[in-house]
Amino acid sequence: MALFAMFAIASCSSDDDSTSSTPSGGGSADPVLNIVETAQATPSLSLLVEAVIQADLVDALTASGDRTVFAPTNDAFTAFLLDKGFAQLSDVPNDVLAQILLNHVIDGTNIMSSDLSGTTGYTKTLASGPEATNLSIYWDGNNGVELNGAATVTLADVMASNGIIHVVDAVIDLPTIATFATTNPALSTLVDALAYADTGMPTVPYIETVSDPEAGPLTVFAPVNDAFGDLLVDVGANELADVATTTVDDILTYHIVNNANVTSGELEDGTVTTIGGDITLDAAALTLTDPNGGVSNIVSTLVDIQGTNGVVHVIDRVIRP
């Protein structure tokens, strides 16, 4: 019943590199069909209906309230099953299928496509992450609406009596830390740094670790692109390749806390032990001080970006060993 109650949908937060808010959705004249009935009346969503029934989520999607559903087409489900090595939908374990479906559901408001157009940001789905957290989803509305870099809205604003449906062309898989690092353009230099460090020895290895849903959990302090630009200026380098891989590796280790999923509400004053060494946290000011006295600000609107293998908090300065 708790799972059913969770499967109410709606609420995307709107943010870019430094802001995050929750757009409020509108609606049209009162529709008659609920979300499940609307999907049943749409031939291209028949596999979604089968999946909802198999995962025992029908009651959740027929309950009254406001919710936003990203609805994968039959072709999307077929491609997903093939990619995961399942011959048919019934081969997917019900608990796994339920989490996949919940990852397409946002609770709280009916989000119109106009709320997402021209914006980027993160919000929470109803899928479960480490320590009873909810997984995040990233949208990019700059060219249509894309979700976690994987699914694109092909039919928007289908109103139901208990929410709104946006049809998408791919199943949105459960995200890892790598999902959010690679889909947000503001973190592209971080991805480059992780890949570059992996070319040297020793290495964590970074890309494999942050992509592994079973890794961690990890808490990652993720510097934005400008932070890496400032670092290169400070060390007199033109590009990452001018810096030794061992140095980049040493730097990156100071941004990762192993075996901990520390959300913003759990941040406490004092020493934070990263893989590389100790840094100092001021929870009220949301600052991290490195061994050199350099201060990195945690961007308050870009915290708690939750994946299956850990949580990301965005910072404005690279932490230095």
What is the model's pLDDT at position 29?
59
Averaged pLDDT score across all residues of the chain = 91
**pLDDT mean over 151-179:** 97
Record the pTM.
Answer: 0.88
| Alpha-carbon distances of 5 from 15, 64, 111, 243, rounded to whole Å | 27, 11, 19, 51
Query: In 161-318, which ranges are continuous DSSP H helix?
Result: 177-183, 188-198, 206-211, 225-234, 245-253
Mean pLDDT, rounded, for 35-46: 97
Q: What is the pLDDT of residues 23-32, one digit of tens each?
A: 434 444 577 8
**HSE toward the beta carbon, residue 226, CA cutoff 13 A:** 7
User: Which of 24-28, 118-122, 254-258 is predicted least confidently?
Assistant: 24-28
Q: What share of the chain is helix, strand, coil (3-state, %, to 5)?
A: 35, 25, 40
> Could you tell me the pLDDT band of residue 202, with boundaries at 50, 70 and 90?
confident
CA distance 204 to 155: 42
